[in-house]
């Protein structure tokens, strides 16, 4: 999982928010989910608010891999979506149509179809749009 989520974190939670992201195996995910949510099964993401300006997301890559077909996303895009989901919980949102709209907004902004077609051209310090023809 090579992603830098700091831009998304700053957008959703603010620059002063301190966020850590941990990866755990299914056994640890199940243990944490049972202890803190009283649900005896492993899950894809857990959000823990530590203080007003700090929190932690706990991801389970094994569960995420098994859910890619269910969500119709690549592993990387599903991780991104779940990080957004977890951050919105840290922001205080509960599952609702409002949260669904925010998830969709941020998912499209950071992981939407057009974003994946943009490549950074470091040699020229500008972006190139792959597949676009000049007119």
Angle at 102 between CA 100 and CA 108, to 5 degrees: 100
Both tokens of residue 135?
């007119």
**C-alpha count within 13 angstroms, C-beta hemisphere, residue 95:** 0
Q: Mind listing the pLDDT tens digit for each residue in 51-84?
A: 999 999 999 999 999 999 999 999 999 999 999 9
Q: Which domains does the chain have, with CATH numbers?
A: 6-129 (3.40.390.30)
pTM score? 0.80
Q: Mind listing the pLDDT tens digit for each residue in 99-108?
A: 999 999 999 9
Percent of the chain, pLDDT > 70? 81
């Amino acid at each position: 999982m090579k992603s830098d989520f700091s831009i998304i974190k700053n957008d959703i939670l603010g620059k002063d928010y301190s966020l850590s992201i941990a990866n755990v195996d299914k056994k640890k995910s199940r243990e944490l989910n049972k202890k803190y949510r009283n649900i005896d099964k492993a899950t894809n993401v857990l959000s823990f608010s530590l203080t007003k300006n700090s929190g932690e997301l706990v991801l389970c890559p094994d569960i995420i891999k098994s859910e890619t077909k269910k969500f119709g996303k690549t592993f990387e895009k599903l991780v991104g979506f779940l990080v957004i989901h977890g951050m919105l919980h840290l922001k205080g949102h509960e599952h609702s149509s409002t949260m669904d709209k925010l998830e969709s907004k941020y998912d499209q902004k950071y992981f939407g179809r057009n974003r994946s077609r943009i490549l950074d051209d470091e040699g020229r310090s500008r972006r190139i749009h792959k597949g676009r023809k000049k007119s």
